[in-house]
Homo-oligomer: A and B are copies of this chain.
Amino acid sequence: MNMTFLQEMFQSITQRDALLRRRQGDGTPPDHRRLVEACHRLLESDGEASSIALASRALGMYQRLEPAERLRFFERLASDFAAEPTEIDAAYARYAEQRDNDSLEALFEACEPRRQELIRRLNLTSGGTAELVRMREDLLGLLREHPEFSAVDADFAHLFGSWFNRGFLMLKRIDWNTPASILEKIIRYEAVHEIRDWDDLRRRLDARDRRCFAFFHPAIGDDPLIFVEVALHKGLPARIQPILAGEDVGIDDPEIADTAAFFGISNCQTGLRGISFGNFLIKQVVQELKQELPQLKHFVTLSPVPGFAQWLAERREDESLPEAVRETLAELETPDWHGDAERAERLKAVVKPLAARYLVEEKNARGLPLNPVARFHLGNGAELHRINWLGDVSKKGLKQAAGMMVNYLYVLEDIERNHENYTANATVARSSEVKDLVRKARKLAKGENTK
Contacts and interface: CB of A to CB of B under 8 A. Distances in A.
A159 interface: yes
A5 B178 contact: yes
B170 A6 contact: yes
A9 B285 CA distance: 13
A2 B170 contact: no
Contact of A166 (B88, B95, B124, B159): B124
B48 A165 contact: no
Interface stretch (A97-105, A356-364, A432-440): A97-105
A151 interface: yes
A83 B99 contact: no
Interface stretch (A216-224, A321-329, A333-341, A366-374): A216-224
A276 interface: yes
Interface stretch (A32-40, A108-116, A260-268, A345-353): A108-116
Interface stretch (A136-144, A179-187, A401-409): A179-187
A195 to B, nearest CB: 12
A425 interface: no
Interface string A166-193: 1110111001111111110000000000
Interface string A28-68: 00000000000000000010111010000000000000000
Contact of A3 (B11, B150, B180): B11
Given A120-B165, A159-B162, A89 B96 contact: yes
B120 A113 contact: no
A4 interface: yes
Interface string A1-30: 111111111111000000000000000000
* Residue picked from A105, A166, A181, A222, most chain B C-beta under 10 Å: A166
Contacts of A170: 6-7, 10, 218
A161 to B, nearest CB: 7
Interface stretch (A125-133, A238-246, A302-310, A384-392): A125-133
A1 B6 contact: no
A411 B130 CA distance: 32
A415 B198 CA distance: 43
Given A151-B101, A151-B104, A221-B2, A279 B49 contact: yes
Nearest to A123: B167
A371 B182 CA distance: 42
Nearest to A170: B10
- Oligomer copy total: 4
A82 interface: yes
A450 B151 CA distance: 65
B123 A112 contact: no
Nearest to A152: B101
A285 B283 CA distance: 33
* Residue picked from A128, A179, A222, A420, most chain B C-beta under 10 Å: A179
A416 interface: yes
A419 interface: yes
Interface in A195-222: 197-198, 202, 216, 218-219, 221-222
Contacts of A176: 179-181
A177 B177 contact: no
A2 B8 contact: yes
Nearest to A110: B111
Given A5-B222, A108-B113, 19 more contacts: A3-B6, A3-B7, A3-B218, A3-B221, A6-B172, A6-B221, A7-B170, A49-B282, A50-B381, A82-B101, A85-B99, A88-B95, A88-B104, A92-B92, A101-B151, A107-B111, A128-B167, A177-B179, A179-B180
> When A and B form their complex, which 8 residue pairs have the shortest distance between CB atoms, in order from nearest?
A2-B222, A218-B218, A101-B151, A108-B111, A49-B279, A1-B177, A3-B11, A177-B179
Interface of A: 1-12, 46, 48-50, 52, 82-83, 85, 88-89, 92, 95-96, 99, 101, 104-105, 107-108, 111-113, 120, 123-129, 148, 150-151, 154, 159, 161-163, 165-168, 170-172, 175-183, 197-198, 202, 216, 218-219, 221-222, 276, 279-280, 282-283, 379-381, 415-416, 419-420, 423
5 contacts: A1-B175, A82-B101, A83-B104, A168-B218, A176-B181
